[in-house]
Chain A
Amino acid sequence: MLADAWPLAVLAILLGWPIPVFLARAVWPRRHPRAAIALWQAVGIAGGLSLIGAPLAIGVAPLDGQLRNGLAELARDAVHLRVPEALGLGQETALALAAVLTLRLVGVTLLSALRIERDLRRQRNAVDLAAEHADRQLRVLEHAAPAAYCLPGTRTRIVITEGTIAALAPDELEAVLAHERAHARWRHELVVQPFVAWESALPLPPAHRATAAVTALVEMLADDHAVRAVGRPALARALVAIGGTAGPVPHQRAAGAVAGAASTPTLDRVRRLVRPGVPTLPERLVGPAVWLAAVLLVAGPTWFVLR
């Protein structure tokens, strides 16, 4: 019997391919970035758990159709250092696969977190020593190319260049700073980092799309904070001024940007500011519906396995 294995395998496949692809193409997340991020997180968690759960359920199926009981039986035998006789090579391979996937997901996530932490510490040391201290958080690098970024963490730094200050009007600069402060204040790196880690653990196109989508959504969230501080026009002008300047290493973005010039993250953000539109009633229901979907996506399979 494979009672639990089939639904989990189907879920793992759906969450591993069609759903991320569909979600990455959708337009509604631009209007509901927060709900969309919650849904992506739910897809990631449910996807990871079903990806591990499916081979586990296949592996313990001869012991018990229900994953929970099968695992309990496997654990009882494992305590006595015994492999249940009912398990064939196929089941043992499935169990080994589940173990490898678990170790890989956990290991890569930890390594990725450590690497990011080390990079950030190095960057923070560099700007603390070599940049002008405008205030406790804000550092100004003596460089002509416009750039603005946030070194997130508990000791956040917001870094801009003199080129940024030169390129922007005062309200535009305020927009950039409000945007970066929102990243820092709401710890957006904690949203993005797990997706970066999962992408390195499973370097497949859907994981890549998920990271790109979540990164873009986080930018939109920060944009929304900046809009509340300075209004749409100033932020849009700042985006065009900084994003519209060819960088010192343009070739690095050029490939992707030329191919997809009809829609790039920066262009999507500006268009979103230019055409905000008035939300209709169905539009207003999208947010709550997406939140509900996110909760059900995690709670449903969890209940199913523990039932």
Chain B
Amino acid sequence: MADERAGTPRRLGELERAVMDVLWTRPEGCTAQEIVERLAARDGGSELAATTVLTVLDRLRRKDFVDRERAGRAHRYRAVSSRDDVVAASMLAVLETTDDRRSALVRFAGAVSPEEAALLRAALAELEE
């Protein structure tokens, strides 16, 4: 069905989000096996192969969203920053590109001064007369 049509990249993307969702609710971190169990409990379905979860964790590590430390014979994986921090960093990256010049990000409209806001409202009033 939808999943089959979308192919592997989309499913990997969905798995990455699911794994991040688990890690974001567990700031103290999880082993890969714990992630497998939590995902199975959440979806009420069969368990994913541990190797699949390890592959996903590896991708997330390469993207700098996850790091790991040794915990006995396994690794404990942790989100590098909380979901709120990731969102805040995204916002800041956009707001910092003043007039969108530095990174060619195109943003709908920037923050304005109170003076500009008043002029904007005056211009709009003209339109709605």
- Dominant secondary structure of chain B at its interface with chain A: helix
Is there an interface contact between A161 and B91, defined as CB atoms closer than 8 Å? yes
Can you list, as one digit per residue, whether each of B99-118 has a CB less than 8 Å from chain A (1) or not (0)?
A: 11111111111111111110
Tell me if A128 and B13 are in contact (CB < 8 A): yes
CB distance from A138 to the nearest CB of B (A): 13
Q: Are A274 and B115 in contact (CB under 8 A)?
A: no
A212–B101 touching, CB < 8 Å: yes
Interfacial chain A residues near B88, Cβ < 8 Å: 143
What is the CA–CA distance of A159 and B17 in the complex, to the nearest angstrom? Answer: 17
- Smallest Cβ-Cβ distance to A244: which chain B residue: B117
CB neighbors of B among A9-49 (8 A): none
Complex: A151 Cα to B93 Cα, angstroms: 12
With A125-B65, A183-B106, A244-B112: A270-B87 Cβ-Cβ less than 8 Å: no
Convert A283-296 into 0s and 1s, putting 1 for each residue whose CB lies closer than 8 angstroms to a CB of B.
00000000000000
Q: Count contacts between A and B, CB distance < 8 Å.
A: 185
Asked whether A176 is an interface residue with its Cβ less than 8 Å from the other chain, the reply is: yes
Contact of B120 among A176, A189, A239 (CB under 8 A): A239
CB of A243 within 8 A of CB of B87, answer no
CB of A137 within 8 Å of the partner chain: no
> What residues of A have a CB within 8 angstroms of the CB of B92 in the complex?
249
Contact B114 A246 (CB under 8 A): yes
Contacting pair B106 A127 (CB below 8 A): no
Q: Is A101 an interface residue (CB 8 A)?
A: no
Cβ contacts under 8 Å, B127 to chain A: 232-233, 236, 273-274
Asked if B3 is at the interface (CB within 8 A of a chain A CB), the reply is: no
Question: Per a CB cutoff under 8 Å, which of B13, B108, B109, B123 touches A271?
Answer: B123
Binary CB contact string for chain B from 69 to 96 against chain A (1 if under 8 A, 0 otherwise): 0000000000000011011111111111
Give residues 187-240 of A contacting B (CB, 8 Å): 188-189, 192-193, 196, 199, 211-212, 215, 218-219, 222, 232-233, 236-240
Chain B residues, Cβ within 8 Å of A125 = 63, 65
A130 vs B110: C-alpha distance when bound (angstroms): 23
Which residue on B lies nearest to A176, using beta carbons?
B108
Q: Does B119 belong to the interface (CB within 8 Å)? A: yes
User: Known interface pairs A253-B112, A270-B123. Does A265 touch B99 (Cβ–Cβ under 8 Å)?
Assistant: yes
Segment among A61-69, A71-79, A115-123 that sits at the interface with chain B: A115-123
Minimum distance in angstroms from B57 CB to a CB of chain A: 13
Q: How far is the CB of A299 from chain B (nearest CB, A)?
A: 28
On whether the beta carbons of A129 and B65 are closer than 8 Å, the reply is yes
Interface flags for B46-73 (1: CB within 8 Å of A; 0: not) read: 0000000000000000010100000000
Q: Which of A129, A247, A249, A269 has most chain B Cβ within 10 Å?
A: A129
Contact A257 B115 (CB under 8 A): yes
* Cβ contact within 8 Å between A126 and B113: no
B22 is an interface residue with CB less than 8 A from chain A: no
Q: Which residues of A contact B4 (CB under 8 A)?
A: none
Known: A141-B87, A152-B106, A257-B113. A129 touches B16 (CB 8 A): yes
For residue A87, CB closer than 8 A to chain B, the reply is: no
| A254 lies within 8 A of chain B by Cβ | yes
Q: A88 on the interface (CB 8 Å rule)?
A: no
Cβ of A94 within 8 Å of any chain B Cβ, yes or no, is: no
A274→B123 contact, CB < 8 A: yes
Question: Given the complex of chains A and B, what is the CA–CA distance between A151 and B123 in angstroms?
Answer: 30
Is B43's CB within 8 Å of the partner chain A? no
Which residues of A101-123 have CB atoms within 8 Å of chain B's CB atoms?
115-116, 119-120, 123
Q: Which residues of A are in contact with B by a Cβ distance under 8 Å? A: 115-116, 119-120, 123, 125-131, 141-143, 145, 147-152, 159, 161, 176, 179-180, 183, 188-189, 192-193, 196, 199, 211-212, 215, 218-219, 222, 232-233, 236-240, 242-250, 252-254, 256-258, 261, 264-267, 269-271, 273-275
Q: Supply 7 further A-B pairs (C-beta < 8 A) apart from A196-B104, A237-B124.
A: A120-B103, A141-B90, A147-B94, A147-B108, A152-B104, A246-B114, A253-B99
**Chain B interface (Cβ within 8 Å of chain A)?**
13, 16-17, 20, 63, 65, 83-84, 86-96, 98-117, 119-121, 123-124, 126-128
